[in-house]
Chain A
Amino acid sequence: MQSSYADVARIIPEIFLTSLALLLLMMELVTKKKEFIGFIGIIGVVITAYLTLITNPGRAFSDMFIVDGYSNFFKLIFYLNVILTILISIRYLKIEGVNLGEYYSLILFATLGMMIMASGTDLIVIYLGLELMALSTYVLAGFLRHEIRSNEAALKYFLLGAFSSAFLLYGIALTYGMTGTTNLKDIASYVTQHGIAKNPVFTLSMIMFIIAFGFKIAAAPFHMWAPDTYEGAPTSITAFMSVGPKAAGFAAMGRVFFDALGPIRLDWVAVIIPIAILTMAVGNIIAISQTNIKRMLAYSSIAHAGYALLGLIAGGSEGLSSMMNYLLIYAFMNVGAFAVIIMLRREGFKGEDIDDYSGLAKRHPLAAGLMLVFMFSLTGIPPTAGFVGKFYLFMSAIRAGYTGLVIVAVIFSAISAYFYLRIVMYMYMREPKAEVELSTSAPLGIALAITVAGVLILGVFPSIVIHLAKASLLG
């Protein structure tokens, strides 16, 4: 049971990222130029990504941690997310007047928590990774301390997050009491060997896990915190939260539900199907009536969690890889849309009302064009990546025999066209109201270039990411 060098070698990316976060914290003391801290952070994350790719796959720390294709794919989503977030934050933080170095290290700590969630194969490790991610994100959501909306966002996120993690713990306690272990694989093999998979206690712990992860991925009816939190949090953090913690929630969910709760797969699928339908319904229908674009994207993000659940329901390597794909594509298109929103923010002007987008195409055709691409992609219109993601997701669900569910999902996606394209309509068909100036900067430009390239390239050549996701499941 002693940890050896081989164990430590598996967590080198995590160790490196922790050191990086500490380094950024130190740099806060010596450098006046906070954007410099951001740049060091980006370089560090790129190195971490490289280290992740060269780490030998395998298990470590008495089977609590695993490096495999599944975890590596999710880690790449997290790295992409953190790099894009830092790029869009650099100028935004100055505008908001909270240009602090701690911001960058907290983002990195949150990413560290996500990595641990994706790699954890023990419920204790998953719980701790989730808390590390959540605690860092609570602080980031409340980072605009002088603004009451940001305080409120942090408070709601915190209270419901802590509430849901108590449920997670109860689920862990019950499985532990039944099986005497917290290791995912051991739980499954113990319940099948002793024929207690159908025991109500196991079902109860499954329900606790669904509640807990439902809160984390903002699935209805556990989504109440998401709209307020997404609206009130700093815009860069909204982008970060709507991709990273959500993907991490799905990563941990995939592991827990397939590895530990695999023996009762039909039971949890039966619970998750209504949740997926409700999530798509709530997200898409309430989004229609929103006037604040951040709030609208919050509901849209709820709806997208509903689509991604389809991959989990379909299961198998095809279902999981289509879910992973979708989360990667979602990272590109969603952070891209938030980057455009951040561009409209300047001193004394929020730029969060959908009205503010009126006639944007006349004054700033490039920004409007980019927003158009992201909105098309979020709707799922070809040739954007959003279409490809949805297509594979729906195909895998049909092949697994959930045709009815896919029909529902297609109907809701058609409804979603209404509110996404409304923004396009505002930009192209309305007269500009007031002078809207853009606050552009080089990092923001790079972020936009990366996201739009991602959306278009993956839309035209989808095979790249499909192969990557499939290969990562086999490896």
Chain B
Amino acid sequence: MLAEIFFAYFAVVIVLTSILVIASRNPVHSVLWMLLLFFHIAGLYLMLDAEFLAAIQIIIYAGAILVLFLFVVLLLNLKEEIKGRPFSRIFVIALVLAIGMAVVISSTMKLLPPGPVGQYSMDMIRATKGGNSSIIGRVMYTEFLFPFEIASTILLVAIIGAIVLAKKRLRS
């Protein structure tokens, strides 16, 4: 029962803040609602026993990505922009499309067949020293070593790309 109540709280806040993110006129407000949203998603991850991801969600999503957004919003100084229409002309079409998609996908979700059950049960995770984080680390560096290396290359490209695009002056 307690779990359901917690879920209901997180779900309500997540849905409300997501609506506020896209409905706020001022992008700074959107970013701040997003911050609240990310904290509640992290809470949801804790309910699903994904402690490592809950931490990552706050450290990277809230701590790094959102701060970057905030920097850019403030850098661009959008005082004039806020006065215009926030939504484009296809507002109604977009609404119908999004609601239709939500209805179709959520009605198919009822038919989800039960998947296979793997080896990482809660008992097994509790019995492991270091818990969730230690298991993720072990899996990441053995089974998922190759994708991990690709991810590192992606981050390198992001560094190079951001510098090339946003640096003040070109040399040549």
B94 at interface by CB-CB < 8 Å: no
Neighbouring B residues of A199 by C-beta, 8 Å? 111-113
Q: Is the CB of A143 within 8 A of B113?
A: no
B109 at interface by CB-CB < 8 Å: yes
B164 at interface by CB-CB < 8 Å: yes
Known: A135-B158, A177-B115, A204-B108. A128 touches B165 (CB 8 A): no
A398 at interface by CB-CB < 8 Å: no
Neighbouring B residues of A289 by C-beta, 8 Å? none
B150 at interface by CB-CB < 8 Å: yes
Q: Is the CB of A18 within 8 A of B153?
A: yes
Q: Is the CB of B164 within 8 A of A100?
A: yes
The main secondary structure of chain A at its interface with chain B is: helix
Closest to A96 in B: B172
Q: Is the CB of A132 within 8 A of B157?
A: yes
Known: A142-B165, A180-B116, A200-B108. A109 touches B157 (CB 8 A): yes
Interface centre among B111, B117, B142, B150 (most CB of A within 10 A): B150
Contact of A100 among B147, B150, B170 (CB under 8 A): B170
Q: At the interface with chain B, which of A49-57, A59-67, A443-451?
A: A59-67
Known: A179-B116, A201-B108, A204-B105. A64 touches B160 (CB 8 A): no
Q: Is the CB of A1 within 8 A of B143?
A: yes
Contact of A3 among B104, B108, B142, B153 (CB under 8 A): B142
Give Cα distance in the complex from A7 to B145, angstroms: 11
Give Cα distance in the complex from A145 to B165, angstroms: 7
- Please tell me the size bucket of the interface on B: 20 to 34
A244-281: contact bitstring with B at CB < 8 Å (1 yes, 0 no)?
A: 00000000000000000000000000000000000000
Q: Is the CB of B118 within 8 A of A180?
A: yes
Known: A1-B142, A145-B170. A194 touches B113 (CB 8 A): yes
Tell me which residues from 92 to 149 in chain B have a Cβ below 8 Å from any Cβ of chain A. Answer: 104-105, 108-109, 111-113, 115-118, 142-147
Q: Is the CB of B154 within 8 A of A64?
A: no
B171 at interface by CB-CB < 8 Å: yes
- Shortest beta-carbon distance from A143 to chain B in Å: 7
Neighbouring A residues of B117 by C-beta, 8 Å? 180
Q: Is the CB of A180 within 8 A of B115?
A: yes
Contact of A136 among B113, B115, B161 (CB under 8 A): B161
Interface centre among B111, B117, B164 (most CB of A within 10 A): B164
- Shortest beta-carbon distance from B57 to chain A in Å: 16
B19 at interface by CB-CB < 8 Å: no
Contact of B154 among A106, A128, A204 (CB under 8 A): A128
Give Cα distance in the complex from A18 to B160, angstroms: 14
A417-430: contact bitstring with B at CB < 8 Å (1 yes, 0 no)?
A: 00000000000000
Closest to A61 in B: B146
Neighbouring B residues of A201 by C-beta, 8 Å? 108-109, 111-113
Neighbouring B residues of A65 by C-beta, 8 Å? 146
B151 at interface by CB-CB < 8 Å: yes
Give Cα distance in the complex from A56 to B73, angstroms: 51
Known: A128-B151, A132-B154, A204-B105. A139 touches B113 (CB 8 A): no
Q: Is the CB of B164 within 8 A of A143?
A: yes
- Shortest beta-carbon distance from B150 to chain A in Å: 4
Give Cα distance in the complex from A393 to B163, angstroms: 43
Known: A124-B144, A145-B165, A201-B112. A99 touches B150 (CB 8 A): no
A97 at interface by CB-CB < 8 Å: yes
Closest to B163 in A: A102
Known: A196-B113, A201-B108. A106 touches B142 (CB 8 A): no
Interface centre among B111, B115, B118 (most CB of A within 10 A): B115
Please name 17 further chain A to chain B contacts, defined as beta carbons within 8 Å, in addition to the given A106-B161, A180-B117, sorted by A numbering. A1-B142, A3-B145, A3-B146, A7-B146, A34-B172, A64-B146, A98-B172, A112-B153, A124-B147, A125-B147, A128-B147, A135-B157, A178-B113, A194-B113, A196-B113, A201-B108, A204-B108
Q: Which 9 A-B pairs have the closest CB atoms?
A: A139-B161, A61-B146, A128-B150, A180-B116, A99-B172, A200-B108, A180-B115, A196-B113, A1-B142
Q: Which A residues have a C-beta under 8 Å from some C-beta of B?
A: 1-3, 7, 11, 18, 25, 34, 60-62, 64-65, 97-100, 102, 105-106, 109, 112, 116, 122, 124-125, 128-129, 131-132, 135-136, 138-139, 142-143, 145-146, 154, 177-180, 190, 194, 196, 199-201, 204
A-B contact pairs, 12 of them (CB 8 A): A64-B146, A97-B170, A98-B170, A98-B172, A99-B172, A100-B172, A116-B150, A135-B158, A139-B165, A177-B112, A177-B115, A204-B108
